[in-house]
Amino acid sequence: MRHLMSPLDFTPEELDRLFDLANDIERNPSKYAHACDGRILATCFYEPSTRTRLSFESAMIRLGGRVIGFSDAASSSASKGESVSDTIRIISCYADICAMRHPKEGAPMVAAEKSKIPVINAGDGGHQHPTQTLTDLLTIRSLKGSLGNFTIGLCGDLKFGRTVHSLINALVRYDNIRFLFISPEELKCPDYITEMLRDKGISYREVIRLEDVMPELDLLYMTRVQKERFFNEEDYIRLKDFYILDTAKMELAGKDMLVLHPLPRVNEISVEVDADPRAAYFRQAQYGVYVRMALILTLLESASQNNPL
């Protein structure tokens, strides 16, 4: 049984095939409108989500399938003490594929080990968010033409941001990527990330001021400071508005630079930036539907054939 726990579960060659499928879905949606007729996706979300959950549901419905599930732990048997292992055993009787979000790192992996259907990790704590990473990679490839040969700045919460960690780990497999890490000292990229980059001989630099590096960037990946990851509300209040991308800062960037954001945003991107053609974050959300459609099709096909991609 093939699952998706990490973006590294797929080789770059497999990702190319997945992204080719996503781009074909984008160009020819009617071709796939009944690809999942009679199939059911279970969305098991143990913590709140809007974009990820609705994106999965939209993807399955656009493929002709149906959706069951729950949107928070309180509305599931987890509130009665049921384990993830038991929940997925039951879900396997009801659905053909499952997307699971959980606040505890590793919970979707526990589910995958007990599941009779493909399980997709839709985010586990501060650990992984692989389908967001697939969305980011598809967006970059579609809008920039390829993966590789660019400088990317990652700005904001680099300590707790699972989207940042997943994206860095995925991008290091491509050629000539240069990283600029833009954060306050308290939210710096974890040591295991920077040590990995040093071990691989991959160029990176850590800075505090966004203005200092804007002219160097091909891509700017903004993130919000996540209140839910802080133990101390005072620290959150002090750091939440540390970066605000506005039109003045955008004037410092190149004409082909793109701004990405996994969303939701709070104050870190001013709404005045939305009108800039370089603002790609809403297009990014649309690519998230296409890549999840492609992933659902790929994992269901793999499960039916019982062999790798």
User: Mind telling me the catalytic residues?
Assistant: 51-52, 80, 101, 129
Tokens 């579960």 found at? 9
- Burial code (b: 16+ CB inside 10 Å, e: under 16) for 21-53 equals bbbebbeeeeebeebbeebbbbbbbbbebeebb
Which residues, 6 or more positions from 297, have their beta carbon under 8 angstroms from its beta carbon? Answer: 21, 32, 35, 36, 63
Cα 155 to Cα 209: distance, rounded to the nearest angstrom: 10
What are the CB-based long-range contacts (under 8 Å, 24+) for 203-206? Answer: 203/178, 203/179, 204/178, 204/179, 204/180, 205/179, 205/180, 205/181, 206/181
Both tokens assigned to 273: 């930036």
Cα 194 to Cα 116: distance, rounded to the nearest angstrom: 37
Cβ(9)–Cβ(118) below 8 Å: no
Cα 217 to Cα 75: distance, rounded to the nearest angstrom: 44
Cβ(195)–Cβ(188) below 8 Å: no
DSSP-derived 3-state class of residue 50: coil
